Amino acid sequence: MKVAIVGAAGVRTPQLVEALWARAEELVVTELALLDIDDRRLDLMENVIRELPGIESGCTKLTCTTDPRDALRGSDFVIFTIRVGNINSRVIDEQIPLKYGVIGQETTGPGGFSMAMRTIPVMLEYVELIKEVAPRAWILNLTNPVGMITQAITETGFTRIVGICDSPTALFRDIADAVRIPREELWFEYFGINHLGWIRRILHQRQDITQDVLNNDMVLLRHGSVMLDPDFIRALGMIPNEYLMFYYEPRGIVEQLRKNRITRGGIIEGLNRKLFAELEKVAESREEWASLKVYQQYARAREDSYMKVETADLEHGTLINTLWERSTGSPGRVEREPEGYAGIALSVMESLTGRKPKVIVVNAINEGAVDCLESQDIVELPCYVDSNGVHPIAVARVPEASRGLLQAVKSYERLTIQASITRAYATALQALVAHPLVRDVKTAGAILDEYAGSYGWQLQ
């Protein structure tokens, strides 16, 4: 079996490769092709990968290339983790809306819109190539905004695709850890679309423990912070994905971002710059595991920075260096089951090949599972995944408290997909106006015009 990773110079690649290597023999992975358009960064990331424990053993062939046709030809699985415009475009995406008092996070609001406008056309070109050189391949999409990218592809008629995000499973894991019950003993009834979902019910040994979880303020913390008022969560009667804070408390988050004078994209840009500068330094050295140690330090710093800029006061001038230095001496690899994006991707592959069918929260075609959305919409739900494909598990009627927001954001997504393909100014404007975080024609127009000017979009 051949697996290709597109965007392999990105920072997720070592984790993906490590996860795949852990199951290479079991999955019968004979070739792993790493593809990226940035050959130097690909070389640096290959240095990290070559230092992963056990990577030189086994029968899997590891290749690196900048040629899409070579990388994709004959692939059984293609993992997408690309970023069109690189990380500096994310900074632009997030900073422009803030001028107008609007959140511009990578996947949420105008930031997600801009990223989709750049990324969807590129992804569709890759899909056409896959149809030609690897027609039986499954696409595992990790490229943000995951839900919109996945839906844009399925709307072309290509349905062998699964969208992957680790946010729901991370929420499940954190709750399980907080209540001190093994994750595998709990059932989470979760519904929504990417970065817009809720846990409605939690079962343990056939007992509904949802209210016990809702009554425990400590269990409702996310990443050690109070991201949403526990009393509000209790009134809602559901546990929101952390990204719902952008919708429930937008003014406070805009104020916090303006106060910190940096967005999440700015933090990642600084950390990435540090990572690749350090990798360049050690590239010619003979120090054992030097590249891997640098990458481990980066991964620790990035994890420590998650959701901090939106929720806490930060020392802007020294932030990147502080995060980097604080992560010095990060622990080496600990033997465990692969987690996060890599773990989910591995589980999906195992399930689709028929080796380990299971229920996994992924982004897939609705097929009526969420009653208030269209049948062909991409939703984020627990799905039974096996060699026959991905089968969403239907949820009971969506509560009124979620229904309107869910429908509004999905309408925005449909319009954004249309605008990314037609390049019609009117459709792009309608998409931004439809988003609950914008809702103002003049503001939407100003944001759209700045994006178009920054990226040179030729909108009709």
Name all domains of the chain by residue range, CATH numbers in brackets.
2-164 (3.40.50.720)
Distance CA 458, CA 394 (A): 41
Tell me phi and psi for residue 254, to 5 degrees.
Answer: -60, -45
Helix axis angle for 39-50 and 13-22, nearest 10°, is 40
C-alpha distances out from residue 72 to 108, 262, 370, 387, Å = 31, 38, 34, 22
Buried b (16+ CB within 10 A) or exposed e, 324-353: beebeebeeeeeeebebbbbbbbbbbbbbb
222 bridge partner residues: 225
CA-nearest of 452, 2, 11 to 267 is: 11
Degrees, nearest 5: CA angle 335-337-338: 105
- Stretch (H or E) spanning 177: helix 167-179
Q: Give all strands of the β-sheet with 161-163 in edge-to-edge order.
A: 61-65, 31-35, 2-6, 77-80, 138-141, 161-163, 358-365, 378-386, 389-392
Q: Of 58, 49, 51, 53, give the one whose Cα is nearest residue 8.
A: 49
User: Can you give the C-alpha Rg of the chain in angstroms?
Assistant: 21
Structure tokens at 42: 């690909």
pLDDT by residue for the chain (460 residues), tens digit each? 999 999 999 999 999 999 998 888 889 999 999 999 999 999 999 999 999 987 866 668 999 999 999 999 999 999 999 999 999 999 999 999 999 999 989 999 999 999 999 999 999 999 999 999 999 999 999 999 999 999 999 999 999 999 999 999 999 999 999 999 999 999 999 999 999 999 999 999 999 999 999 999 999 988 777 889 999 999 999 999 999 999 999 999 999 999 988 899 999 999 999 999 999 999 987 777 899 999 999 999 998 888 878 877 777 667 888 888 888 865 544 344 567 899 999 999 999 999 999 999 999 999 999 999 999 999 999 999 999 999 999 998 999 999 999 999 999 999 999 999 999 999 999 999 999 999 999 999 999 999 999 999 999 9
Q: What are phi and psi of 365, to 5 degrees?
A: -65, 130
Residue holding tokens 């971002």? 257
Q: Is the pTM of this model over 0.75?
A: yes
Report the sign of the C-alpha dihedral through residues 115, 116, 119, 123, in that order: positive
Contact 254, 102 (CB under 8 A): yes
Q: Which stretches within 237-317 are classed as H helix?
A: 245-248, 250-260, 264-283, 290-304
What is the three-class DSSP state of 78?
A: strand
Q: Which two tokens stand for residue 442?
A: 């003049």
Contact 117, 416 (CB under 8 A): yes
Contacts of 230 (CB under 8 A, 6+ apart): 217, 220
